[in-house]
Amino acid sequence: MFSQDLVEQFKLRETPFYHYDLTRLRETIKVVKSFAQEYDFDIHYAVKANSNEPILQEINQAGFGADCVSGNEVKLAAKVGFAPQSILFAGVGKTDKEINEALAIGIKAFNCESVQEIEVINELAEKANQIAEISLRINPNVDAKTHKYITTGLDENKFGINQIDLPELVTRIKDFKHISLTGLHFHIGSQITDMKVFQGLCLRVNEIQNWFTDHGIHIEHLNLGGGLGIDYLQPDEKAIPDFETYFNIFHQFLERKPDQKVHFELGRSIVAQCGNLISRVVYVKTGINTNFAIVDAGMTELMRPALYQSYHQIDNLTSHSDLRDYDVVGPICESTDCFGKSVALPETSRGDIIAIRSAGAYGEVMRSQYNLRDHHEAFYSQL
């Protein structure tokens, strides 16, 4: 948890701000790396989960690559020191400008999501006198059994090339002289906690890969995306997600061809648990059926509860009194600006410091300035 010394440092700072525990990040990276190495899997960290430079530096030093989803993420990854050959450029709507900039930096690997995108990359690579290496992101129509808004691998989702387009695509692919098809890519969703889902994904990937082999196309590498969920309710006890089971499922069920590389693009599971949103209680007020703890962080700092009805554990770091129930809400003019209803907290008062836990992934990166909010710099600690 948080040492008294850390809490004292929090008290001195203007709130709200994000706190990152770099020691926990390093411990997590160490575990991911050891299991990935055991099975000879490669990791590209999904930069979208958290693109703060100190975090990216730790991840780069660990030897992971970067999975980027915009031109700016590509540029940032390159600036932080990721080698161009370790950067993947993904995303369903890459613009010509972004593709040109990526080619200019020397990015070779593009995850492509439509036939039209492949045509455009071929054309732009030709103008740049380059050969772009592409992976086809295929929509496998596998249900991730996660929140509807973060499911990405069903037919109804916008992501990936639909399987009905594949026959036409493989007949046309040899006409594209400035691309080289090297891989297949899948990502079916995020915050997946039912491990059987990954088993189902493997079986689907095996079928799809065999279809390509039958059509004379050799797949050098498979990219299985990310998706491993974390335990939002027990940020201390289960601080490190279950990478062992996750990788083991792919090791057991994925049919890996000889010399084939296998990649993962993990985001949340690497950075979620090292981050906390630290906030101050501004007011406590009695409602008709509840007490409200009104804090100075809102959905502008952490959008996940408002967007996905998600709950991040909340701790009062400065009160140790008896427990009472509070609706913990922010200051934003929206009723969805609520971090939790009937949350049992030690008796809470104006000025108390609270931590909204496991907020390292898709927290700070998704913040907004709605209501003209101030943003405060992140605070990094390590043992």
Ligand X SMILES: Cc1ncc(COP(=O)(O)O)c(C=O)c1O
Ligand Y SMILES: N[C@@H](CCCC[NH3+])C(=O)O
Chain residues binding ligand X by CB under 6 A are 46, 49, 67, 90, 187, 190, 225-228, 265-269
CA–CA gap between residue 127 and residue 284 (Å, rounded):
62
> With respect to ligand Y, which residue has the nearer C-beta, 191 or 209?
191
# binding residues, ligand Y (CB under 6 A): 6
Do residues 39 and 304 lie in contact, with contact meaning Cβ atoms separated by under 8 Å? no
Do residues 372 and 353 lie in contact, with contact meaning Cβ atoms separated by under 8 Å? no
> With respect to ligand Y, which residue has the nearer C-beta, 52 or 191?
191
State the DSSP code for 360.
T
Question: Which does residue 226 bind out of ligand X, ligand Y, none, counting CB within 5 to 8 angstroms by kind?
Answer: ligand X
Do residues 326 and 290 lie in contact, with contact meaning Cβ atoms separated by under 8 Å? yes
CA–CA gap between residue 33 and residue 314 (Å, rounded):
30
Q: Does 264 bind ligand Y (CB under 6 A)?
A: no
> With respect to ligand X, which residue has the nearer C-beta, 226 or 305?
226
Q: Does 159 bind ligand Y (CB under 6 A)?
A: no
> With respect to ligand Y, which residue has the nearer C-beta, 150 or 353?
150
The amino acid that residue 22 corresponds to is L
Out of 10, 176, 247, 362, the only residue in the binding site for ligand Y (CB under 6 A) is: 362
Question: Which does residue 304 bind out of ligand Y, ligand X, none, counting CB within 5 to 8 angstroms by kind?
Answer: ligand Y
Q: Does 269 bind ligand Y (CB under 6 A)?
A: no
Q: Is 338 a catalytic residue?
A: no
Do residues 57 and 81 lie in contact, with contact meaning Cβ atoms separated by under 8 Å? yes
Identify the active-site residue in 68, 202, 333, 338.
333
Do residues 356 and 314 lie in contact, with contact meaning Cβ atoms separated by under 8 Å? yes
Q: Which residue of the chain is nearest ligand X when measured via CB?
A: 226
We find the least distance from the C-beta atom of residue 138 to ligand X, in angstroms, to be 12
- Residues in CB range of 183: below 8 A, 6 or more apart: 109, 133, 134, 135, 136, 219, 220, 221, 222, 223, 263
Q: Which residue of the chain is nearest ligand Y when measured via CB?
A: 362
- In what helix (H) or strand (E) does residue 86 lie, and over which residues does it extend? none
Q: Hey, what are 294's tokens? A: 């009104």
Question: Which does residue 227 bind out of ligand X, ligand Y, none, counting CB within 5 to 8 angstroms by kind?
Answer: ligand X
Q: Does 150 bind ligand Y (CB under 6 A)?
A: yes
Question: Which does residue 265 bind out of ligand Y, ligand X, none, counting CB within 5 to 8 angstroms by kind?
Answer: ligand X
Q: Does 191 bind ligand Y (CB under 6 A)?
A: yes
Following DSSP, what letter does each residue of 291-304 receive, concatenated? EEEEES--TTT--H
Interior/surface letters 102-132, b for 16+ CB within 10 angstroms, e for the rest? bbebebbbbbbbbbebbeebbebbeeeebeb
The amino acid that residue 221 corresponds to is H
We find the least distance from the C-beta atom of residue 186 to ligand X, in angstroms, to be 9
> With respect to ligand Y, which residue has the nearer C-beta, 110 or 362?
362
> With respect to ligand Y, which residue has the nearer C-beta, 16 or 225?
225
> With respect to ligand Y, which residue has the nearer C-beta, 48 or 221?
48
Question: Which does residue 160 bind out of ligand X, ligand Y, none, counting CB within 5 to 8 angstroms by kind?
Answer: none
Question: Which does residue 90 bind out of ligand X, ligand Y, none, counting CB within 5 to 8 angstroms by kind?
Answer: ligand X
Footprint of ligand Y on 277-316 (CB under 6 A): 304
Interior/surface letters 243-272, b for 16+ CB within 10 angstroms, e for the rest? beebbbbbbeebebeeebebbbbbbbbbbb
Select from 284, 298, 301 the least CA-distant residue to 346.
284
We find the least distance from the C-beta atom of residue 368 to ligand Y, in angstroms, to be 13
Catalytic residues: 333
| Binding footprint of ligand Y on the chain (CB under 6 A) | 48, 150, 190-191, 304, 362
